[in-house]
Amino acid sequence: MLGLNKKDATFLLIVVLLTLFTPIIMQPFAANSGLDQFNGGYPDLMQKVAIFGIFAVGFNILFGLTGYLSFGHAAFLGVGSYAAVWMFKLLTMNVIPAILLAMVVSGLLAVVIGFISLRRSGIYFSILTLAFAQMCYKLAYSVLTPITNGETGLQLALSDPRILDGTNESASLPVTNIFGLAMNSSYKVEALNRVFTFNVGFYFCGIVAILAFYIAIRLFRSPFGMMLRAVKTNQQRMNYMGLNTRPYTLAAFVISGMYAGLAGGLLAAMDPLAGADRMLWTASGEVVIMTILGGAGTLMGPVLGAGVIKYLENIFSKINESVLHSWFHWLPDGLEHAVVWVFARFTGEGWHLTLGLTFMLVVTFLPGGLVEGTRRIKSLMARLRRPKAGRTEPKADDQPSPFKKPL
């Protein structure tokens, strides 16, 4: 189906279903249960999970397949956002041209940065990309202020031309839409003591994410994807096999840059303003962490990593001291303060500490990321279920390799 083998098709179907039912899945706790704050089913978070999923999947095409670790992918995210907002200002509030331009512009930037950075590999490549991204960040604040609007960030204004949309009579700013359907419109359903929010913006992001994910699967299974994995393993052999590695790495770099640009464009489509903060090196570091946390080189890993980090970020930063006090009010006074003080270091503002610890634990004990974790649990369950059964030999023919990477 769709040029995928049965296993991949099933896998894609699961992703589609998960995306469709995200507003329900992410609302597991009843409204008045006290666990309400752990619900993640609000549009802003769901959109971010989808968008950063795209970002991480694209990053994984470069890092997971070729092994080139870019520390400058946030530059493409930021440039994509700027391009999209300019499209909203000049042409139309429809998101389609905006995200297309975002991909084109970030792709062009990726050609330039990649052409220079890919002359080096390893740590030098990482540093070069980092330098380029920081350069973009600084330029956005200085020389390019006419385009980026400096520290204020690029915003919509009533006086913008918006050639295709005609004149805007109302006194309020127009909203981003897709052929008239506003991105911020939501359909709320109250059921089972929960409020489920079905948001247009989220479904748009979700559909784009599924498309991006589908393309990534095809790419992973293609001869091109195999060549990229070969680049990671042995460049010398590639050269002595008559293959030129440079175009392969550059193509991977540009593709992943365009994924980042698409994610940036979508960020702007959900909330039409763009600031240079998106290009800061911490944003580049975030996508590296997402990919490694989920499992670099796997298909599902980056999406999983993006989802987990964005969810935890939103939930943990909401837990402030008063919330903690309400949790531990049953403790004796002195003890309560001590416990709250300790927990407060890891929540709210201090949530990065939790992220850092999680990351350290995963990298130390699960080098293959969360995907490896689920695989280990699976094999453990299988072993527990039939403790005395002998090892089954895989069939020689159609069985996939035992060494093949998991999904």
Partner 1 sequence: MGILEVKNINKRFGGLQALGDVNLSVKENSVHAIIGPNGAGKSTLLNCLVGKLMPDTGSVTFDGQSLLGRKPHEINQLGISRVFQTPEIFGDLTVMENVLIPCFAKRDGAFRLNALTSIAQEPDVRAKAEQMLIDVNMIDKRHMQGSSLSRGDKRRLEMAMCLAQDPRLLLLDEPTAGMARADTNNTIDLLKEIHEKRDITMAIIEHDMHVVFSLADRITVLAQGTPLVEDTPDNIKGHPKVKEAYLGETQQV
Out of 240, 384, 388, 392, the only residue in the binding site for partner 1 (CB under 8 A) is: 240
Which amino acid appears at position 5 of this protein? N
- Any contact of residue 232 with partner 1 (CB under 8 A)? yes
139 contacts partner 1 (rule: CB under 8 A) = no
Position 367 contacts partner 1 (CB under 8 A): no
Q: Is 220 helix (H, G, I), strand (E, B) or coil?
A: helix
Distance in Å, CB of 61 to partner 1, minimum: 10
First-last CA distance in the chain:
18
Asked if 56 and 294 touch (Cβ cutoff 8 Å), the reply is: yes
Distance CA 385, CA 165 (A): 62
Between 227 and 260, CB nearer to partner 1: 227
Among 33, 152, 193, 239, binds partner 1 (CB under 8 A): 239
CB of 195 to partner 1, least distance (A): 41
Tell me: does residue 9 bind partner 1 (CB under 8 A).
no
Alpha helices in 61-164 (DSSP H): 74-90, 95-117, 122-141, 145-148
8 A C-beta contact, residue 286 and residue 96:
no
Among 131, 155, 229, 323, binds partner 1 (CB under 8 A): 229
Residue 392 engages partner 1 in binding (rule: CB under 8 A)? no
Q: Which two tokens stand for residue 354?
A: 């939790």
The residue among 152 and 399 lying less far from partner 1, judged by its C-beta, is 399
Number of shown-chain residues binding partner 1 (CB under 8 A): 39
Nearest approach in angstroms of CB 109 to partner 1 is: 19
Amino acid at 115: F
CB of 4 to partner 1, least distance (A): 8
Distance of closest approach, residue 63 Cβ to partner 1, in angstroms: 14
From the list 292, 257, 253, the residue with the least C-alpha distance to 75 is 257
Instruction: Say which DSSP state 154 is in.
Output: E
Confirm or reject binding of residue 7 to partner 1 (CB under 8 A). no
Binding window for partner 1 (CB under 8 A); candidates: 78-86, 96-104, 194-202, 248-256: 248-256
Q: Segment 177-216, which members bind partner 1 (CB under 8 A)?
A: 215
CB atoms within 10 A of CB 56: 33
6 binding partner 1? (CB under 8 A): no
List of E strands, 253-306: 273-274
User: Comparing C-alpha atoms, which of 108, 140, 94, 102 is closest to residue 261?
Assistant: 102
Cα(134)–Cα(71) distance, rounded to whole angstroms? 10
Q: What is the per-residue binding string for partner 1 in 260-289, x denoting contact by CB under 8 A? A: ------------------------------
Among the listed ranges 102-110, 112-120, 246-254, 362-370, the one in contact with partner 1 (CB under 8 A) is 246-254
Q: Is 328 exposed, middle or buried (0-12, 13-18, 19+ CB in 10 A)?
A: middle
3-state DSSP helix/strand/coil % of the chain, to nearest 5: 65, 5, 30
Q: Determine if 54 is a binding residue for partner 1 (CB under 8 A).
A: no
Q: Minimum distance from CB of 174 to partner 1 (Å)?
A: 37
Site string for partner 1, 140-169 (x = CB under 8 A): ------------------------------
Shortest Cβ 37–partner 1 spacing (Å): 43
Pick 136 or 262: Cβ nearer partner 1: 262
**Residue 10 CA: distances (Å) to CA of 7, 20, 73, 169:** 5, 15, 31, 49
Rounded to an integer, what distance in angstroms lies between the CA atom of residue 136 and that of residue 330?
A: 52
Tell me if 10 contacts partner 1 by CB under 8 A.
Answer: no
Helix (H, G, I), strand (E, B) or coil at 196: strand
**375 near partner 1, rule: CB under 8 A:** no
Answer yes or no: are the C-beta atoms of 257 and 107 closer than 8 Å: yes
Residues that bind partner 1 (CB under 8 A): 3-5, 215, 218-219, 221-227, 229-230, 232-234, 236-244, 247-248, 251, 255, 394, 396, 399-404
